[in-house]
């Protein structure tokens, strides 16, 4: 029959390609493995380089580097205290503002808004994450900071200027503006994770509460938030990590003055900003090494925060049983 | 009668779970052999051992001996890919390649094994589609996506795809379980026609189906072969009490 | 009415009020987050359109006071940097994702790769800048387009890995099995069946990743450095839109501020353009 003819024709080229195929299979797998290994080595190399090149500064200044406020390139004395302070405080402001807003948005989008509304609105909130940070900075300088000065700092300063936290002239530029811009920038991050976590709450949980006659808010309060708690915490830590490392928007509105002031209205500085501003001008070794140590600290903190965030998010995504039992 | 497949004390595991506990049987040329048994009895595992598909699942392991045309397919010199080329397989759910046309779906086995001659491919596609009883329905739209077909047609397309590489043996893992009754009937008729040229092993959870289309039937329970005989014997005078229970329970 | 029912009815009103209050707060927080978005977009639109014309796209920056300055070189620079990043990030990212999805899904090594990818995703971009400065700028003794491209490439890798892996995982196993059962080699199954099936999603992921790194500024300060003249040389400093926007934004000149807005509009358009390509690639594939 015709069968046999086709079979002959079919089998010969088959066998030919076969001979090439066995090594190809191995080569392809090796290629993908090499890429994966390369990614691990890349992170290893980053860590190694940061430790290596900051060793000079670490040895010379030791622990004092973190606490000291003196940053004097001329004298060769470096302490990053003021930068660390600025980074932490501006990020804390951001978290304090962004957390309730983000959780509110996530709840609104998942629990209240009808689908025809929650999809486009959710997209708009995500769009906030797509705007490059230099544009946040530009908008911050020319739109946001003047607004804050006029409508937030002036009235608060007039009323509460006697409290150190709100003392000093309303400059606009400063810690408060930096924190608020950071808050806007991390809202999409915390919102996205909270939305995922909240929509993973089992329907049974919701319906159980509803059947008891709970109002919508009570369903959220008693059935959803306890379940989603640690996942949302993961989102918050992830947002914090992002805020700590943010460079451009902060450096454009924080004022770049390495001082520790009680007032939120005062200019400040941040770790990422000092690297951005001074790195390319750092000529001598110890100066460069000190800036790299700032980078190393920033890296270590965000590295740990990401690990923590992953753990919390994973614990919710993985263990719905634990959530049900609370 | 000619034995095509000889299975000798085959054991299989998924991780630490043993799904086959020493199966031995012989499968005959140009006959339809049905594997029946309750869910989780190991019938899918068994059929996947026959073309070395079991081991593609991570953590899966096989022990024992399977001879196909006197070749030990688990011998270390044998390339599993070669085995799979010689044995066709049809799966539970129709799985045409979504990025390919109907023509390319059927030709995929040949093409990806290095056949480039257009005439050979054309002939093979037509012949395979005819054998799968799909040619008349799709001959005018061979360039449409395989996904544009109905579920039953998709399954016949998958059968055509398996036939195109000219196998001697066709393994079918519950090929009609996801289909409507009419499509199921067409697949059953097809199996009857195909056995003229192929040795067919079919897994089914539907005992009427096994009774209708198979010449031999093997009954598996908890990874063990309870009974293996001519289909008629299994369904009319089973020797094992468990076979009888299963069959009568199902037939009601 | 029973006592319990009575109690229930009495307490129902305050509960309802609290309910509406909380729901309103949620609605307000959503609106609150949208205000900055609209403010940013309208300001870029209104202020940007004034200075954005053909000259702006084709010309070099002009000194203060001279008309007709543009960001042509920065636009080209951004395209060069992004291409370099893509050249580095896409192959490494896609191959790694293939390993994670097709060869070894579980175990210590793949978990480590995933953990590392997530960590890379979270590294402050300025730190990536430091790293590339140390390994490329210092040895070459010059800021360069190459360094900038590598920095953006490093940031692109984890985005591509995680996105592509997700897309590959969505390809049903039944297709892989069908291909294996036909006797295809594994690499064939991956290249001819799995990748084509997931390609739409992979392209979308890559485009969105590229759009994201295209807007990065901080690492470029330490690597590409910026350049006010035409340059596409890989071993020379190169301009980039975000860098130019930054320089102009912190300058004291109104004219440059306007240019910064126009640059932002251009940058947003580039980002949008990449997203549209992603969408088109997706659609074109569907018709096939």
Residues C36 and C82 in one domain: no
On whether both A39 and A90 belong to a single domain, the answer is no
The answer on A185 and A106 residing in a single domain is yes
pLDDT of residue B251: 43
Domain annotation covers residue C59: no
Question: Are C140 and C243 contained in the same domain?
Answer: yes
- Token pair in block for residue C243: 């860098």
Task: Tell me how close the Cα of B14 comes to any Cα of chain A, in angstroms.
Answer: 23
Residues C147 and C201 in one domain: yes
Q: Examine the domain organization and report whether A82 and A131 are in the same domain.
A: yes
C39 and C162 share a domain?
Answer: no
Q: What CATH number does residue C125 fall under?
A: 1.10.3720.10
C89 and C203 inside one domain: yes
Among C residues 79-108, those touching chain B with beta carbons less than 8 Å apart: 105-106
A49 Cβ under 8 Å from any chain B Cβ: no
CB contact under 8 A, A10 and B166: yes
Question: Does residue C241 form part of some domain?
Answer: yes
A9-13, A304-308, B62-66 — which is least confidently predicted?
A9-13
C82 and C205 part of one domain: yes
Respond yes or no on whether ipTM tops 0.90. yes
Residue C276 is predicted with a pLDDT of: 77
| Distance of alpha carbon B57 from alpha carbon B84, whole angstroms | 15
pLDDT band, very low/low/confident/very high, at C286 (cuts 50, 70, 90) = very low
Domain that holds residue C154: 72-287
Residue C221 has pLDDT above 80, yes or no: yes
A208 and A248, same domain (yes or no)? yes
- Of C19, C131, C264, which has the smallest distance from its Cβ to A216's Cβ? C19
Angle at B57 between CA B56 and CA B58, to 5 degrees: 110
Please report whether residue C205 resides in a domain. yes
Q: How far is B182 from chain A (nearest CA, A)?
A: 30
Overall number of domains in chain A:
2
Domain annotation covers residue C66: no
Enumerate the residues of chain B whose CB falls inside 8 A of the CB of residue A3: 166
Are residues A96 and A24 located together in one domain of the fold?
no
Instruction: Report how far apart, in Å, the C-alpha atoms of B116 and of each of B110, C62, C132, C133, C285 are.
Output: 8, 60, 48, 51, 25
Per-residue confidence (pLDDT) for residue A326, from 0 to 100: 28
Number of domains in chain C: 2
Residues A2 and A107 grouped into a single domain: no
In angstroms, how far is the first alpha carbon of chain B from the final one? Answer: 35
Asked if residue C88 and residue C14 are part of one domain, the reply reads no
**Residue A52 and residue A159 in one domain:** no
Domain check: are A170 and A189 in the same one? yes
C63 is a domain residue: no
Mean pLDDT calculated for residue range A223-244 = 93
Band (pLDDT 50/70/90 cuts) for residue B250 is low
Instruction: Say whether both A107 and A247 belong to one domain.
Output: yes
Residues C32 and C120 grouped into a single domain: no
Q: Is B144 helix (H, G, I), strand (E, B) or coil?
A: coil
Write out pLDDT tens, residues C36-67: 999 999 999 999 998 888 888 888 988 887 87
pLDDT tens readout for residues A166-178: 988 889 999 999 9
Considering the domain architecture, whether residues A57 and A95 belong to the same structural domain is answered as no
A4, A5, A6, A21: best mutation site toward chain B, by most B Cβ within 10 Å?
Answer: A6
**Which residues in chain C are contacts of A83 at CB distance < 8 A?**
none
Q: Quick one: which of A182, A145, A185, A183 has its CA closest to A265?
A: A145
| All domains in chain B, ordered by first residue | 3-251 (3.40.50.300)
Q: C148-182, pLDDT tens digit by residue?
A: 999 999 999 999 999 999 999 999 999 999 999 99
> Which helix H or strand E contains A192, and what residues bound it?
helix A175-199
**CATH number of residue A172's parent domain:** 1.10.3720.10
Domain that holds residue A29: 1-61
């Amino acid at each position: 029959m015709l069968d046999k003819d086709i079979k002959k024709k079919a089998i010969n080229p088959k066998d030919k390609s076969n001979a090439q195929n066995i090594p190809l299979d191995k080569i392809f797998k090796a290629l993908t493995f090499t890429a994966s290994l390369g990614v691990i080595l890349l992170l290893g190399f980053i860590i190694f380089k940061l430790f290596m090149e900051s060793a000079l500064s670490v040895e010379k200044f030791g622990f004092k580097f973190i606490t000291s406020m003196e940053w004097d390139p001329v004298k060769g004395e470096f302490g990053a205290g003021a930068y660390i302070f600025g980074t932490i405080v501006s990020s804390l402001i951001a978290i304090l503002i962004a957390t309730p807003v983000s959780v509110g948005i996530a709840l609104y989008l998942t629990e209240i808004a009808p689908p025809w509304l929650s999809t486009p609105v959710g997209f708009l909130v995500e769009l906030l994450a797509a705007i490059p940070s230099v544009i946040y900075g530009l908008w911050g300088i020319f739109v946001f900071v003047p607004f804050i000065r006029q409508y937030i700092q002036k009235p608060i300063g007039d009323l509460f200027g006697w409290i150190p936290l709100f003392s000093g002239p309303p400059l606009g530029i400063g810690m408060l503006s930096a924190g608020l811009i950071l808050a806007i920038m991390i809202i999409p991050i915390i919102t996205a994770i909270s939305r995922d976590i909240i929509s993973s709450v089992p329907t049974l949980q919701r319906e159980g509460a509803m059947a008891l006659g709970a109002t919508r808010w009570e369903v959220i309060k008693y059935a959803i938030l306890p379940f989603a708690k640690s996942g949302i915490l993961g989102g918050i830590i992830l947002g914090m990590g992002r805020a700590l490392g943010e460079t451009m928007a902060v450096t454009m509105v924080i004022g770049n003055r390495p001082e520790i002031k009680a007032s939120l209205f005062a200019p400040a500085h941040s770790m990422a900003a000092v690297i951005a501003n001074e790195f390319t001008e750092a000529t001598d070794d110890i100066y460069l090494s000190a800036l790299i140590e700032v980078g190393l600290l920033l890296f270590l903190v965000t590295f740990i925060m990401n690990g923590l965030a992953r753990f919390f998010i994973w614990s919710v995504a993985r263990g719905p049983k634990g959530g049900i039992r609370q | 009668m000619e034995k095509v497949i000889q299975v000798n004390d085959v054991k299989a595991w998924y991780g630490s779970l043993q799904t086959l506990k020493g199966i031995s049987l012989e499968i005959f040329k140009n006959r339809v052999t049905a594997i029946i048994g309750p869910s989780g009895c190991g019938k899918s595992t068994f059929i996947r051992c026959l073309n070395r598909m079991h081991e593609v699942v991570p953590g899966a392991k096989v022990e024992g001996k399977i001879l196909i045309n006197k070749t030990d397919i688990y011998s270390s010199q044998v390339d599993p890919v070669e085995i799979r080329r010689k044995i066709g397989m049809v799966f539970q759910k129709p799985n045409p390649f979504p990025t390919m046309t109907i023509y390319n779906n059927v030709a995929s086995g040949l093409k990806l094994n290095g056949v480039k001659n257009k005439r050979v491919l054309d002939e093979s596609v037509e012949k395979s589609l005819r054998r799968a009883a799909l040619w008349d329905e799709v001959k005018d739209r061979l360039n449409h996506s395989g996904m544009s077909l109905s579920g039953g047609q998709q399954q016949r397309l998958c059968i055509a795809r398996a036939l195109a590489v000219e196998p001697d043996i066709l393994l079918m893992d519950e090929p009609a379980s996801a289909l409507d009754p009419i499509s199921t009937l067409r697949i059953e008729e097809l199996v009857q026609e195909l056995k003229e040229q192929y040795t067919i092993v079919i897994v089914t959870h539907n005992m009427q189906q096994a009774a209708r289309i198979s010449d031999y039937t093997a009954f598996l329970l908890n990874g063990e072969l309870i009974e293996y005989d001519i289909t008629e014997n299994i369904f009319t005078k089973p020797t094992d009490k468990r076979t009888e229970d299963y069959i009568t329970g199902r037939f009601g | 009415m029973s006592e319990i029912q009575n109690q229930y009815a009495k307490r129902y009103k305050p509960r309802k009020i609290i309910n509406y209050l909380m729901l309103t707060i949620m609605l307000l927080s959503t609106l609150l987050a949208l205000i900055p978005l609209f403010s940013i977009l309208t300001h870029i639109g209104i202020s940007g359109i004034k200075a954005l014309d053909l000259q702006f796209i084709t010309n070099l920056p002009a000194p203060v006071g001279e008309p007709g300055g543009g960001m042509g070189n920065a636009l080209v620079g951004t395209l060069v940097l992004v291409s370099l990043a893509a050249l580095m990030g896409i192959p490494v990212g896609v191959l790694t994702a293939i390993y994670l999805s097709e060869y070894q899904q579980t175990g210590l090594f793949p978990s480590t790769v995933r953990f590392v990818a997530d960590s890379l995703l979270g590294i402050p971009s300025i730190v990536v800048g430091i790293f590339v400065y140390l390994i490329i700028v210092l040895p070459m003794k010059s800021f360069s387009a190459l360094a900038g491209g590598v920095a953006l490439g490093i940031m692109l890798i984890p985005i591509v890995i995680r996105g592509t892996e997700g897309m590959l995982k969505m390809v049903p196993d039944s297709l892989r099995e069908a291909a294996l059962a036909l006797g295809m080699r594994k690499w064939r199954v991956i290249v001819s069946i799995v990748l084509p099936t997931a390609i739409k999603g992979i392209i979308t992921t890559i485009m969105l990743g590229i759009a994201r790194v295209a807007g990065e500024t901080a690492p470029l300060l330490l690597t590409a450095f910026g350049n006010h003249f035409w340059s596409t040389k890989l071993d020379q400093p190169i301009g980039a839109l975000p860098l130019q926007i930054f320089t102009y934004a912190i300058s004291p000149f109104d004219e440059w501020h306007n240019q910064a807005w126009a640059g932002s509009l251009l940058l947003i358009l580039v980002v949008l353009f990449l997203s549209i390509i992603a969408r088109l690639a997706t659609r074109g594939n569907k018709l096939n």
